[in-house]
């Protein structure tokens, strides 16, 4: 069984305003709706779970017909909540993919690709090469080729992740909590994978969606 988890617990401090960014409107739909649609369209996803703050769970269940788990106060606490939910209610789960509610360019094809890759590895992560100059305090030159950005989606063999995940870890990417011997596949790509973080990101996402046709409802 494969469980696709949409993390929607953020309160949008950097975005500002009273409405969290994932519930802002983008071309007539909530931003989270795009991730939900991709997860539902995924041929290899057996169950979809949204992790959200308590005050949003009932509305989301009614709006999208998807079960919800309560988010924690931090990203890692929300991931832990999802793991416990899946472990308790979906004991047959073998793989789990974690997506951001605020990344509206997720596709069903990407989800299916990651689940397929998990047949030969323990985890698949979305990675991005650093193209700007990279600096580090105390260094005149930092070799950017030694570094990369980690984004979601991140997909895992459920057992390995569930056994080791610590909600209080300082790690900011889920994959960073796997053991050193874990076989991690880095999926580098050039597709749009932007995350809505600031108000101006809405305008950019809207323009990209109109240009690519992603904003058209199925």
Domain boundaries, the chain: 2-125+151-212
Q: What is the pLDDT of residue 190?
A: 78
**CB count, 10 Å around CB of 77?**
16
CA distance 40 to 49: 10
What spatial distance separates the first Cα and last Cα of the chain, rounded to whole Å? 26
**What is the percentage of the chain residues whose pLDDT exceeds 90?**
89
Assess whether pLDDT exceeds 80 at residue 148.
yes
Residues 6+ apart with CB under 8 A from 20: 8, 10, 11, 12, 53, 56
Average pLDDT over residues 79-93: 97
Assess whether pLDDT exceeds 80 at residue 213.
no
The continuous run of DSSP H or E covering 146 comes out as: none
Radius of gyration of the chain (CA): 17
Convert the pLDDT of each residue in 9-35 to its tens digit: 987 555 556 789 999 999 999 999 999
Query: Which residue shows structure tokens 């509610």?
Result: 101
Assess whether pLDDT exceeds 90 at residue 158.
yes
Distances (CA, A) of 54 to 30, 82, 152, 183, 193: 18, 14, 23, 35, 27
- CATH 2.102.10.10 at 2-125+151-212, yes or no: no
Contact yes or no for 16/201 (Cβ under 8 A): no
């Amino acid at each position: 069984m494969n469980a696709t988890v949409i993390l929607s617990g953020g309160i949008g401090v950097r975005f500002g305003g009273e409405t969290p960014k994932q519930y802002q409107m983008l071309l007539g739909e909530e931003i989270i709706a795009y991730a939900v649609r991709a997860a539902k369209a995924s041929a290899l996803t057996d169950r979809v779970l949204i992790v959200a703050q308590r005050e949003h769970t009932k509305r989301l269940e009614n709006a999208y017909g998807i079960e919800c788990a309560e988010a924690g106060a931090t990203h890692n606490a929300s991931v832990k909540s999802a793991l416990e939910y899946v472990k308790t209610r979906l004991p047959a789960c073998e793989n789990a993919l974690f997506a951001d509610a605020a990344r509206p360019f997720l596709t069903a094809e990407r989800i299916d690709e990651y689940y397929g890759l998990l047949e030969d590895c323990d985890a698949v992560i979305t990675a991005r090469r650093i193209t700007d100059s990279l600096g580090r305090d105390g260094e005149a030159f930092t070799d950017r080729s030694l570094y990369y950005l980690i984004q979601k989606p991140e997909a895992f063999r459920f057992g390995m992740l569930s056994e080791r995940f610590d909600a209080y870890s300082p790690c900011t990417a889920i994959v960073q909590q796997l053991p050193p011997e874990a076989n991690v596949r880095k999926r580098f790509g050039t597709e749009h994978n932007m995350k809505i973080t600031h108000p101006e990101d809405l305008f950019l996402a809207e323009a990209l969606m109109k240009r690519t046709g992603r904003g058209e409802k199925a």
